[in-house]
Chains A and B, each alone.
Chain A
Amino acid sequence: MQVQMTVNGQPVTAEIEARLLLVHFLRDQLGLTGTHWGCDTSNCGTCVVWLDRTPVKSCTIFAAMADGHEIHTVESLETDGKLDLVQEGFANLHGLQCGFCTPGMMMTARWLLDHNPSPTDAEIREAISGQLCRCTGYENIVRAIRWAAEQTENSGEFASPGAQEKGVSA
């Protein structure tokens, strides 16, 4: 069957099998390997992408269900060579070791900060509670997200460039 959708702002048309999962469509057919494929059971959250600007687990959605919709992957966070503050936070505060969970963590973190620019640590932990990290013990991930929130507050900059375009508000 044929599907059409927007992926990271670009229109995409593709021929797929109905049983193809969104995570494999993004990775294998579009070559967007930033999104990782982990547990395959919607537990680990490394496959989190945005479907119509809401974080979802792409291992538990058929690509056919995204037909006509808008997808954002971790590749959309960086704009014109400039990292998103969440990406900077993960890099600067060691929010990763092996990096496997990182794309999902960052997509959830960006969504959280777009909707709640000054989250408490408890709110950060709740937001990422459906995502597993086996390296950091989560401490540095929470620090990285808190750092990104603080930079946003300090600089007066608000939300990701992509979110600004689309008028996402707190």
Chain B
Amino acid sequence: MQVPASFDYERAASVDHALSLLRRHGPEARLIAGGHSLIPMMKLRLAQPEVLIDINDLSDLSYIRIADNRLCIGAMTRHADLLASPLVAEHYPMLVEAEEVIADPIVRNRGSVGGSLCQADPSEDLSAAFAALGASFVVAGEAGRREVQGEDFHLGPYTTAVEADEMLVEVRIPLRPSMGSAYEKLERRAGDWAVAAAAAAIRLEDGVIAEAGIGLSAVNAAHFRSPQAERRLVGNPADQATLAEAASLAGADCNPSADQRGPVDYKRHLVSELTLRALVRAAASANRRI
């Protein structure tokens, strides 16, 4: 039986209340949203917060809407809600494809978008998808709210720009109606973490790629992105040769570890193949959206 260490339980009634509880209890306090990352870590005593601040009552952080020409996703949005959102499906089908392979339906009922991002597991799917889409992250603290660009949000495995007395409140993705996007993931069994995953987003202008985003998960890519692959794409036509070269660059532009999911060369090959598949589908979608 896995028993977490003892802690004091607090329940936040608002964002400001949660922030004041974080300040009062200091760095040994942790926010808990869906809990599907934190509770398993507490059971293994890899995490031993002295105080848990439950933010599940903050339903005002559960929304998906368009504002200022951006798709805005509240941090307490459950995975199941992101998966079911017609707005998300219309603008960024990649996010729906990523959600379909995150854990299982029951876990998605409870797990939250913000919780997944703040856990910042190196194999997390949405981090790669949001990286490819150029998302930014709104972080609330005592001094107000600040918007952190994607590159600056993920600082490394299990580490984000969110300080101990702050909380993530929203994810923002610029709306680009002509952008095509796709997500490809290989998992060993349904609901497992990725062996590798690739997210591709492409926007075409006059037959050439005007904007490209490549996100990679589970292969230790800096900030979950492949800038080399992106640079190869932009300014070139979305033909097979360009996509294949970019995909090949993505396979080199990461640092996978050998583990029980496979050796390094296999994972690099996998990254290239998944990136190519995602690129081909994203380009086809972009063509339809012009």
Contacts and interface: CB of A to CB of B under 8 A. Distances in A.
Given A18-B52, A65-B54, A65-B56, A60 B105 contact: no
- Among the interface residues A41, A42, A55, A131, which one has the most CB atoms of the partner chain B within 10 A? A42
Contacts of A65: 32, 35, 54, 56
A18 B110 contact: no
Contact of B9 (A18, A45, A126): A18
Interface stretch (B36-44, B140-148, B164-172): B36-44
B5 interface: yes
A19 to B, nearest CB: 5
B109 interface: yes
Contacts of B105: 55, 108, 126-127, 129-130
Given A19-B3, A130-B191, A1 B9 contact: yes
Contacts of A126: 105
Contact of A130 (B6, B7, B107): B107
With a 10 A CB-CB cut-off, give which of A19, A43, A48 has the most chain B CB atoms. A19
Given A61-B35, A61-B39, A129-B105, A19 B6 contact: yes
B265 interface: no
Interface in A28-74: 40-43, 45, 48, 51, 54-57, 60-62, 64-65, 67
A139 interface: no
B106 A48 contact: yes
The listed residue with most B CB atoms (<10 A of its CB), out of A48, A54, A60, is A60
B9 A131 contact: no
A19 B4 contact: yes
B106 A64 contact: no
A17 interface: yes
A73 to B, nearest CB: 15
Contacts, number: 75
Contacts of A131: 104, 106
Contacts of B52: 18, 62
B58 to A, nearest CB: 13
B103 interface: yes
Contact of B190 (A19, A21, A108, A129): A129
B107 A17 contact: no
Contact of B39 (A17, A43, A62): A62
A130 B3 contact: no
Contacts of B32: 65
A55 B104 CA distance: 12
Contact of A57 (B4, B9, B42, B106): B106
Nearest to A3: B9
A18 B8 contact: yes
A42 B6 CA distance: 21
Given A42-B40, A60-B35, A17 B6 contact: yes
Which among B43, B104, B107 has the greatest number of chain A C-beta atoms within 10 A? B104
16 contacts: A18-B7, A19-B4, A19-B42, A40-B43, A42-B36, A56-B106, A60-B36, A61-B39, A62-B35, A64-B9, A65-B35, A65-B56, A67-B11, A108-B106, A129-B191, A131-B104
Given A60-B40, A65-B35, 11 more contacts: A18-B6, A19-B7, A41-B40, A42-B40, A54-B109, A60-B35, A62-B35, A108-B105, A129-B104, A129-B190, A129-B191
